[in-house]
Amino acid sequence: MATTIDPKHALEASGETEPVWIHTDPRSRRPQFPTLNQNLKTDICVIGSGISGIQSAYELVKRGHEVVMVEARDILGGETDRTSGHLASALDDGYTEIAKKHGDKGAQLAADSHSWAIGHVGDIASELGIDCEFRRLPAYEVSQYDRNKQPKEHNDEVKELKAEVAKAQSLKIDAEYREGFTVKGWDGEPDQRDAGVYYNQGTFHPTKYL
Ligand SMILES: Cc1cc2nc3c(=O)[nH]c(=O)nc-3n(C[C@H](O)[C@H](O)[C@H](O)COP(=O)(O)OP(=O)(O)OC[C@H]3O[C@@H](n4cnc5c(N)ncnc54)[C@H](O)[C@@H]3O)c2cc1C
């Protein structure tokens, strides 16, 4: 049976289907704010109440600035509502690519800032007593190809994983390549053993945190 989505849903959230974590933090619990119907004067206006907007507004207010945040939909109605909440210094774009575009200094900056930011979220959560399930955990990067059925593709990708781990290590990210490593709970098909492992990553419940 097709699911009927209320057209007004788009005003609350950016996606068509609901993320599973909405069940542990329903939108009805989020604070409501009045519609902006008058002109305001402020030091800083932040547009959008996703993680970028709210975290920036928090940092600015903490430093004594007057901030107004405006949001077109409901608060946290954008992509932040849908993230799986992994706080990573193991970046999707890869340090090998980042260094090609921005040099080793640029890659170091990306590594340092992302590593710092993971800890900063944890620090804020404990400082303000936010029960957002923040915890440290490793990240695993595995080949998308089956080790036995597509050995060439698997080996080619493993070469890239190894190069990425070496680059990350050169930037002082705690990472290692582990031959034959099996991700716990994922030991069936496809056989994706071998992994780049990145330690000291983080995860949290983003909407509870924000
Ligand atoms: C399925 C999925 C999984 C993900 N997993 C991860 C992950 O594990 N780790 C990770 O780091 N990232 C992840 N991401 C990416 C991450 O969710 C986004 O990068 C992040 O949430 C973007 O935050 P933002 O505040 O920049 O944008 P948004 O959360 O989209 O916030 C922007 C806000 O601005 C508002 N807005 C836009 N234009 C205007 C306007 N003109 N006036 C007023 N308001 C406006 C929007 O309504 C919205 O609320 C994932 C994304 C998806 C979809």
The CA 69 to ligand 1 mean position distance, Å, reads: 15
* 26 to 4, 8, 21, 31, 78: CA distances (angstroms): 19, 17, 8, 11, 15
In the listed set 65, 81, 97, which residue is the last one of a domain according to the structure? Answer: 81
pLDDT in the model for residue 90:
96
Cα angle: 61, vertex 65, 66; to 5 degrees: 90
The CA 78 to ligand 1 mean position distance, Å, reads: 5
Could you list the residue range(s) of the whole structural domain that residue 39 is in? Answer: 9-81
Task: Judge if 105 and 196 occupy the same domain.
Answer: yes
pLDDT in the model for residue 8:
67
Is the pTM above the cut of 0.75?
yes
Blockwise average pLDDT, block size 10, the chain, 210 residues:
60 75 83 92 96 97 96 88 92 96 98 98 97 96 92 96 98 96 80 93 94
E strands present in the chain: 44-47, 67-70, 86-87, 135-142, 175-178, 195-203
pLDDT in the model for residue 7:
61
In the listed set 81, 101, 122, which residue is the last one of a domain according to the structure? Answer: 81
Residue 130, domain member (yes or no)? yes
pLDDT in the model for residue 97:
97
pLDDT in the model for residue 6:
67
- Which residue, by CA, sits nearest to atom 50 of ligand 1? 83
Please provide the size of the chain in residues: 210
pLDDT in the model for residue 1:
45
- Which residue, by CA, sits nearest to atom 48 of ligand 1? 78
The CA 177 to ligand 1 mean position distance, Å, reads: 31
